Structure 1
């Protein structure tokens, strides 16, 4: 058994989403919100690496020709950059989703906060957006679009 973790953005996205839904159902909005952002981020990185012409480098970072170096961004800054990454590609399912910025108010540093600044609407919007991008990822797998 290997003790070296293997980067797998697909399974990470699903795992984070499952846990976000579970925490949300148990009235744990701060961690549900945090994991929703991580789930969406992982799903976007899986799409970049498997569908949109990118790859995962030896340092386990996603690289794309339209990005300026390895992508070290969280969902709040990666989401708006996706418009540049999907340009000139067949990613019609992503385009309508990318016209909004559902994670503009999400911050990875919120993991250090008490969560009182989060509203039920904010958490719900983040969960919905994460589910939407994961659905696109899952459909890409079903369509055989991801390698």
Structure 2
């Protein structure tokens, strides 16, 4: 049997922690009818100019494929959290816009996410969070 190096162990631990955190956040956000990935899509749209992005940009933000983004966004469109729009510059590229309903769901879910994040990391100090974020941003 081969032993994992420290770097390999760290990456494996990061992946397992991300899966656990995602599951907890999915449960928390299900009260608002959305998953953690859907929350992140709403977040990116809320930060975007005119609350609008194309499907590929959302896929890149979430680290998923363009078809994965389509599978994520279709139910959100049906639930009127987002709306698809045509791109006046390129008919091949559809745009996704955050709706008023989506803004309200995002606002409500944001509060739940904030409470969950704080309860998941109750003993984390600001400097520790900053150190981990700095490290992760370099990956």
TM-score if structure 2 supplies the norm length? 0.30
TM-score (norm 1): 0.29
Report which of the two has the higher share of strand: 2
More helix as a share of residues: 2
